[in-house]
Structure 1
Amino acid sequence: MKKHLTWRMASLPDLEPAGSIPLHRQLYERLCTAIITGQLPSETPLPSTRALASELGVARKTVIHAYEDLSAEGYIVGTVGSATRVARLLPDEVFFSSKERLGIPSAPLSSAAPATISQRGSLTQARSLSYSSQLPPEREIRAFRVGLPALDLFPYELWGRLLARRGRHSLPSLFSYQEAAGYRPLREAIAHHLAVARGVRCTPEQVIVVAGAQAGMDLAFRILLDAGEPVWAENPGYFGVHGALVAAGARLVPVPVDRQGLDVSAGVKLAPQARLAVVAPSHQFPLGVTMSLTRRLALLNWAGQNGAWLLEDDYDSEYRYTGHPLEALQGLDRHERVIYLGSFSKVLFPGLRLGYLVVPSSLIEAFAAVRRLVDTHVPVLEQMVVADFMLEGHFQRHLRRMRECYAARRSALIAEVQRTLAGLLDLQVSEAGLHLAGWLPQGSDDQQAAEQAAAYGVEVVPLSRLCLVPISRPGLLLGFAAVNEESIRQGVLHLARALEALKKR
């Protein structure tokens, strides 16, 4: 029965007894076409000549002749005592010559048409390559790598114990599909933490766990944007935001950033009916400024009046070195226009690939439904471990330890830059985050400066790389979290030599 059903999948056209082509050649061509097009995959068993003749209502000799021709050309094989089958491998010369003989279009493999992708895919690829081509190669971490926490101080043994415990006791619950919005205890822990630490007003139902901040942006833009709609984007701003907006087909509207954060009045002049604004109000990337309360209220008022959405990127505001972390923009929102985006990449480690969105109540159903269709859910084992890490108090202890560490590393960077780089780099000191921006003298080329620094063993990011449109002054981005104080001091000395050498060109 199994062989008969497999054979029936071919659905061969009926033979034409009154046609000009002999019946055995008609059968040969129909079988050959089914094999070439994959209707009869390799090693498919064929009916016996007697059974096929009875099924088609033709003489057995007709089927025998067709099988003989197919066997002679290598399409089918048969041995005594076993069924005739489609050959496992078809020689290329047989494949192409037979396709041509049967009128099936073909081309040599070497002249196949080049693969094409969509315009949106091409734009996204170009933006990604333009940035990644300038990134340092994967090697030992050195000053002043941006965007990386202190991986040398992460509690690996503790994490390993939590992971092993979950692996031992929770495996049966991991094997089935999970809730699209994420592991419930983790969402509860996130909601509690955000309420206490960031002033976010939400319930666990509003929390959607995603595979990092980039995945969160992708999901939000899928749901909130149609292709071609205008979106306010900070300039300079995070390249990942710009890339995700390009991938969504949005029309990017570069809005300038000053010492008070995103210039809302400039955004209104440029695109008053924008569908969305993406902002980092607590610690803007890359300049590190904090959006003033006046600007925050103006932004919320604009969104409420125009039915626009705000995506709040709160990527590293857990690390503030004077006073308490400022409350999130979401906590001031009375119109439910803010989607809050957070990540564990900076507070734990980037390889974890876990982040979260806090969405307005009106969007919960849409985000869960689209999330389910896009990638179902994030792997649950890591979610369980992060939940345990938070609920057992390890998360808060780790944050306190890291704040002390980063405060010391930040102070070392500021002191050494002021002592060694006077006249070469004007450091813009911010009170939060894991990096600082510095201004080069007018007329400098920050891309050349970054290349020169790399030649001296130092990693810096040129601000021009993060701009949608040029800004008035060149600058560099210096991360201070990834290496210790001594490495920072040595890095500043190397950077000073690099910039001095650049001046002499």
Structure 2
Amino acid sequence: MSQDISIEVVQAMNDMGPIFEFVVDRSDRESVYRQIYERIRLAILSGSLAVGAKLPSSRALAGQLNIARGTVDTAYRLLSGEGYVVCRGAGGTIVSPLATVANASSNRADAGKTEWTDAFDGAASSPLPFQMGLPAVDVFPRALWSRLCARRARRIHAASMVYPDIAGLPALRYAISAYLGISRGIACSPGQVIITGGYQAALHLIAEMMMRPGDKIWFEDPGYHKARQLLEGMGASIVPVPVDNDGMRVEDAIKIAPNARFALVTPAHQSPLSVSLSFARRGALLAWAARQRAWIIEDDYDSEFRYVGQPLPALKSADREDRVIYTGTFSKVLFPSLRLGYLVAPDELVGPFLRSISLNDAGRSPLEQAVVADFLTEGHFARHLHRMRSLYASRRAALARALEIVFEDRISVDLQMGGLHIIIRFGPSFDDVAAAEACAHKGLSVVALSSLSLTRASDRGLLIAFANVPETSALSASRRLENALSDLPPIGIERAAPQEAN
């Protein structure tokens, strides 16, 4: 920002609040409202503007600076949304008590001369190119989210400070129940919805409450490695089941382990191949569970992002015998650090799940839950998903084109109908594990497909996420990938024949 811009807060007060001495640099590339926002924010953080100090009215400051009043209003709204000021209508705009938290944190960091950076002070670690498991954090509506957080924080009262509902905030459970009914075809009551600390927490709850050591569980191969590691750590016996273009090969699973107690599936977009479980296999899976009195754990982690046709209904929507435990997460549709997920429990399992939570967890913070509930019920969630589908479709296509331009005929690009990553495949001698390690040394985050498989080491490729690769960066990111792989043996294309589906 230009050094020609200055702001001085004079502590003498008049009927308009503190007197600001501003010089607006109109040649600065930063917009005027951002200049106003930054100067007031820095004055608050430095202590020049004390808590409770009254700011000039937007009309007065606009007149002083000879700018449109709407410009000042925009700056004030941004400051309010991030908790720095409180707009009290006719009572004016004052510095918020919440600003002291940020100020104190800043002072403590300066006093301690810490080497690390607080993530709230500007993201200590930005997403690496191609990093899996992340939505597009660069375009998340942070200002809107900040306003919702600040609004909820101002409403905190004594009753909200006691131990939370172990099943989750009722308002959020109701909102999730309504959303699942409309978008995923799941008929469930709010009483069946249990809020968890993300998908891993939901899976841990299920395993801890229901699984006995040695219980067999059908597991997609390749599959989500962290889920497999968690289940193995809880004593489950993993039964690898091959996956083809129609998803998990249910007939193979029945032949291998007909008496398994559980099946863990990702029907909408199989993790990591992104194929969908066919309707015929869905029926066969549900019939097996009903016949064996087994349980199906449905991981519906990113079903909202489908780029051809409409999102497929959830497996749970066809569950007439109540054998499916449905799990969802806000990590992919909002952001991972939120650490909020949920499960929909069959009626007979609601009580046992809640008893387990009461002994081991005691529930989640209601503040974040309330903000998510507002985000859903006020229509922000639906608008956000609509925007993200369009954005991801564009970024997906741009990255695929860029990879084909850079690598030409040395790779094949596997584009499925949904998901947040693509798979690129090389020649039969290609070592994808070594390639992933080489990329890591160059600051790129890709995943070797073979590392996610228990039995199919010959199925090789690199998983590349596109959510955080803007269209304008796709070509440069692809060239960085080529450079990272340049020291490996020559690579050539592998065009594997489609696998026959059952």
TM-score, normalized by the shorter chain, greater than 0.5: yes
**Deviation readout 1:281-322 (Å, 9 max, x if unpaired):** 100111110111111111111111111100000001111112
AA aligned to 1:156 is R
AA aligned to 1:351 is S
AA aligned to 1:496 is E
Provide the C-alpha distance between the structure 1 equivalents of 2:490 and 2:374, rounded to a whole number of angstroms.
Answer: 56
Q: Which residue of 1 aligns with 2:423?
A: 437
Q: Which residue of 2 aligns with 1:363?
A: 349
Provide the C-alpha distance between the structure 1 equivalents of 2:398 and 2:245, rounded to a whole number of angstroms.
Answer: 24
Query: Is residue 461 of structure 2 the alignment partner of residue 495 of structure 1?
Result: no
Provide the C-alpha distance between the structure 2 equivalents of 1:160 and 1:341, rounded to a whole number of angstroms.
Answer: 27
Provide the C-alpha distance between the structure 2 equivalents of 1:494 and 1:471, rounded to a whole number of angstroms.
Answer: 26
Q: Which residue of 2 aligns with 1:47?
A: none
Does the CA contact (< 8 Å) of 1:303 and 1:337 recur in 2? yes
AA aligned to 1:382 is E
Provide the C-alpha distance between the structure 2 equivalents of 1:424 and 1:447, rounded to a whole number of angstroms.
Answer: 18
Post-superposition offset of 1:500: 4.3
Query: Is residue 194 of structure 2 the alignment partner of residue 239 of structure 1?
Result: no
Q: Which residue of 2 aligns with 1:280?
A: 266
Give RMSD over aligned pairs: 1.5
Q: SS where residue 408 of structure 2 aligns?
A: coil
Query: Is residue 399 of structure 2 the alignment partner of residue 413 of structure 1?
Result: yes
Q: Which residue of 1 aligns with 2:293?
A: 307
**Deviation readout 1:160-190 (Å, 9 max, x if unpaired):** 1111111111232321122211111100100
User: Which residue of 133, 138, 145 corresponds with 2:131?
Assistant: 145
Does the CA contact (< 8 Å) of 1:142 and 1:487 recur in 2? no
**Deviation readout 1:59-116 (Å, 9 max, x if unpaired):** xxxxxxxxxxxxxxxxxxxxxxxxxxxxxxxxxxxxxxxxxxxxxxxxxxxxxxxxxx
AA aligned to 2:267 is P
Q: How does 1:455-474 map to 2 (within 5 A)?
A: 455-474=441-460
Query: Is residue 147 of structure 2 the alignment partner of residue 161 of structure 1?
Result: yes
User: Which residue of 354, 357, 378 corresponds with 2:364?
Assistant: 378
Provide the C-alpha distance between the structure 1 equivalents of 2:439 and 2:219, rounded to a whole number of angstroms.
Answer: 29
Query: Is residue 242 of structure 2 the alignment partner of residue 256 of structure 1?
Result: yes
**Deviation readout 1:244-269 (Å, 9 max, x if unpaired):** 21122101111111111001111112
Q: 1:246 to 1:385 in 2, by over 3 A?
A: same
Post-superposition offset of 1:436: 1.1
Provide the C-alpha distance between the structure 2 equivalents of 1:423 and 1:235, rounded to a whole number of angstroms.
Answer: 28
User: Which residue of 294, 300, 311 corresponds with 2:280?
Assistant: 294
Paired positions, count: 368
Q: How does 1:105-144 map to 2 (within 5 A)?
A: 139-144=125-130
Does the CA contact (< 8 Å) of 1:239 and 1:466 recur in 2? yes
Q: SS where residue 410 of structure 2 aligns?
A: coil
Does the CA contact (< 8 Å) of 2:223 and 2:271 recur in 1? yes
Query: Is residue 217 of structure 2 the alignment partner of residue 214 of structure 1?
Result: no
Provide the C-alpha distance between the structure 1 equivalents of 2:263 and 2:199, rounded to a whole number of angstroms.
Answer: 16
Query: Is residue 186 of structure 2 the alignment partner of residue 192 of structure 1?
Result: no
Provide the C-alpha distance between the structure 1 equivalents of 2:286 and 2:149, rounded to a whole number of angstroms.
Answer: 41
Does the CA contact (< 8 Å) of 1:312 and 1:341 recur in 2? yes
Does the CA contact (< 8 Å) of 1:288 and 1:437 recur in 2? no
Structure 1 runs of 4+ aligned residues shifted over 4 Å read none
Provide the C-alpha distance between the structure 2 equivalents of 1:456 and 1:158, rounded to a whole number of angstroms.
Answer: 35
Post-superposition offset of 1:360: 0.9
Post-superposition offset of 1:408: 0.8
Does the CA contact (< 8 Å) of 1:463 and 1:474 recur in 2? yes
Segment of structure 1 superposing worse, 211-220 or 483-492: 483-492
User: Which residue of 211, 222, 230 corresponds with 2:216?
Assistant: 230
Q: SS where residue 142 of structure 1 aligns?
A: coil
AA aligned to 2:274 is G
Q: SS where residue 385 of structure 1 aligns?
A: helix
Provide the C-alpha distance between the structure 2 equivalents of 1:260 and 1:423, rounded to a whole number of angstroms.
Answer: 27
Q: How does 1:477-488 map to 2 (within 5 A)?
A: 477-488=463-474
Does the CA contact (< 8 Å) of 2:224 and 2:272 recur in 1? yes
**Deviation readout 1:405-451 (Å, 9 max, x if unpaired):** 11110010121223332343222111111111222211211011112
Does the CA contact (< 8 Å) of 1:261 and 1:289 recur in 2? yes
Q: Which residue of 1 aligns with 2:253?
A: 267
Segment of structure 1 superposing worse, 460-469 or 352-361: 460-469
Post-superposition offset of 1:454: 3.0
Provide the C-alpha distance between the structure 2 equivalents of 1:295 and 1:420, rounded to a whole number of angstroms.
Answer: 38
Q: SS where residue 488 of structure 2 aligns?
A: helix
AA aligned to 1:215 is A
Q: SS where residue 339 of structure 1 aligns?
A: strand
Q: SS where residue 418 of structure 2 aligns?
A: coil
Segment of structure 1 superposing worse, 371-380 or 414-423: 414-423
- Counting aligned pairs with the same residue, the percent is 46
AA aligned to 1:407 is A
Provide the C-alpha distance between the structure 1 equivalents of 2:315 and 2:188, rounded to a whole number of angstroms.
Answer: 13
Query: Is residue 344 of structure 2 the alignment partner of residue 354 of structure 1?
Result: no
Provide the C-alpha distance between the structure 2 equivalents of 1:381 and 1:318, rounded to a whole number of angstroms.
Answer: 25
User: Which residue of 164, 176, 179 corresponds with 1:178?
Assistant: 164
> Rg larger in 1 or in 2?
1
Query: Is residue 384 of structure 2 the alignment partner of residue 398 of structure 1?
Result: yes
